[in-house]
Structure 1
Amino acid sequence: MGWIRPQKPTIPTVWHTFQARDVDSDRTVTYRVEDLTEDRHDDLIRFLSTYFLEDEPQCQNKQISQDEVALAEMVSFWRWCFAEKMTIVCYREGSNEIVGANLLQVKGREKPRDINTNSEKLLDMIMTNRYMTEQFKVCEQYGVDWYLNAYGLAINRCYRGRGIATEILRARVPICQTFGIKVTTTIFTSLGSQLAAAKVGFNVNFEMTYDDFAKMGPRYSYAGIQSKSSKLMSLKID
């Protein structure tokens, strides 16, 4: 049986607040990171379609946003992830505009889900990331039954350069502490997210360059990808 979020704390819980520059001035304002609420699901789908699919290196390389089948399956996957009730979003105080988001899920020692996709492009990405997780089995390596995993980090382009990705990642600490989770792990695919994770204290467990992936065969080839490598990184929670 998979992990189920307890009824308390209730949704939305504000997990983290921080100060950063406003969107259109050097004025410092407050931002908050909180649970995604059901009434914002469609808004987040649009946000991810704009900022995640166009900017995440693998999705960008495979042109997922331009592939009708892949896009539909990606949206379906996002909705499944939302149903886990762990996704977090960032807002600027006084505004309901989504500034950033991180799709989270608690994973355990269960076997990987069966691959069910009609898109060869998505299958390539699934196999690439599954290879990464097979090289470093988080539960076994850290001696835990559960860890907080992520399936995407995205920031509104208007708000970049303010350290918001780093602050969203920091929100995982109180989330894990609240639910008794000792490790959070993610495959970070872009340099920006890798640097943000390092600032928070994530350590690299396994790294694979895309040049080395290409040597494994066409399924793992990302010719011209705007990233050097993929990094599986983890943060232990005290």
Structure 2
Amino acid sequence: MPFQRVWDSSCPQIYDEWESDGANWVIQDLPPEDDEEALKLMVEHLLPDSVMSQLSGVAKEETSKENMKKFWRHHLSKRMSLACYHLKEGKRTLAALNCCYVKLADEKEEIPDLVEGQAWSNVNETLAYFNSKVNAFEYLKTDKVLYAVGLVVRRDYRGAKLAARLLAAREPLCKSQGISSTSTLFTGIAAQKSAARAGFTEVLSLTLRELADAGLKYPRDDDRCMKLMVKKYF
């Protein structure tokens, strides 16, 4: 049976709060009523900037763009995503998001209504290639892991270390659900630095050249890396 979050009257739960520059900030569970706003944030602020999506050409291929939206919407519905809100003068803004979900070791994930698309296939095959190199369940010695498929900060809120705070908030989220570990493929330098700042450990790093040599659609003259990083909480 797939992991199912119990969403009751205690939700959304709050994992971090602070004040800065005359504003209040809160990191909490993403509530269902904000799913479409979260999806819009990822499409407008993550899709064009993500190394994997950008180089795969997702935004330029409508079929693949729609697949990515279905992929994100599917995982947002699992109710394990973290949202960072900026509150000032009565206005509440979704400033950052980490789209997360729980996967079990024996679970075969199926997302309905996906169709063929070259750019989407490259993204999907990249994720599968990393998974073939490192079995996170075996590495972390657990039967369930919190994964993430999107870490995004609105462009006008970048520079405030919100990504690192979201990644740190995975710990109380995981502990509240009895999940001992988290694993994520970080494709951009900024996200990789935020993950290291939040205590994640690198377990596999591959350059875009190495991924291209494996048959994936990436430039061979680019030495940037994608990094699989993990953190164990208990």
**Alignment TM-score, normalising by the size of structure 1:** 0.90
CA distance in 2 between counterparts of 1:71 and 1:228 reads: 24
Q: Which ranges of structure 1 fall in alignment gaps of 5 or more residues?
A: 21-26
Distance 2:218 2:118 in 1: 13
The one-letter amino acid paired with 2:101 is: Q
The percentage of aligned residue pairs carrying the same residue is: 25
Quote how far apart the aligned CAs of 1:225 are. 9.0
**Which secondary structure state, in structure 2, belongs to the residue aligned with residue 4 of structure 1?**
coil
Aligned partners of 2:11, 2:231: CA distance in 1, in Å?
24
Q: Does residue 136 of the first structure (1) align with residue 141 of the second (2)?
A: no
Question: How far is 1:28 from its partner?
Answer: 5.3
| Aligned ranges 1:1-238 → 2 under 5 Å | 1-7=1-7, 10-20=10-20, 27=21, 29-94=23-88, 95-113=91-109, 116-217=114-215, 220-223=216-219, 228-238=224-234
| Aligned length, in residue pairs | 230
Distance of aligned partners of 1:158 and 1:212 in 2 relative to their CA distance in 1, 3 Å threshold: same
The answer for unaligned runs of 5 or more in structure 2 is: none
Give the ranges of 4+ consecutive aligned residues of structure 1 lying more than 4 Å apart after TM superposition: 224-227
CA apart distance, 1:9: 7.0
8 A contact 1:191–1:227 mirrored in 2: no
Structure 1 residue 108, shift from structure 2 partner: 1.4
For the aligned residues, what is the CA RMSD? 2.0
Secondary structure of the structure 2 residue equivalent to 1:2: coil
CA contact (8 A) 1:57 1:225 kept: no
SS across alignment from 2:84: strand
Superposition deviation, residue 19 in structure 1: 4.2
Q: Structure 2 length normalisation: TM-score?
A: 0.91
* Residues 185-233 of structure 1: CA deviation (Å, up to 9, x unaligned): 100000000000000100001111111111122xx13128987111110
Q: How far apart, in 2, do the equivalents of 1:66 and 1:110 lie?
A: 35
**CA distance in structure 1 between the partners assigned to 2:221 and 2:84 by the alignment:** 28
Residues 51, 155 of structure 1: 8 Å contact kept: yes
Q: State the distance in 2 between where 1:42 and 1:204 align.
A: 32
Question: Which one-letter code corresponds to 2:79 in the other structure?
Answer: K
In the TM superposition, what whole-angstrom CA distance separates every residue of 1:58-98 from its partner, at most 9, and x where no partner exists? 11122322321111111111211121111121111233211
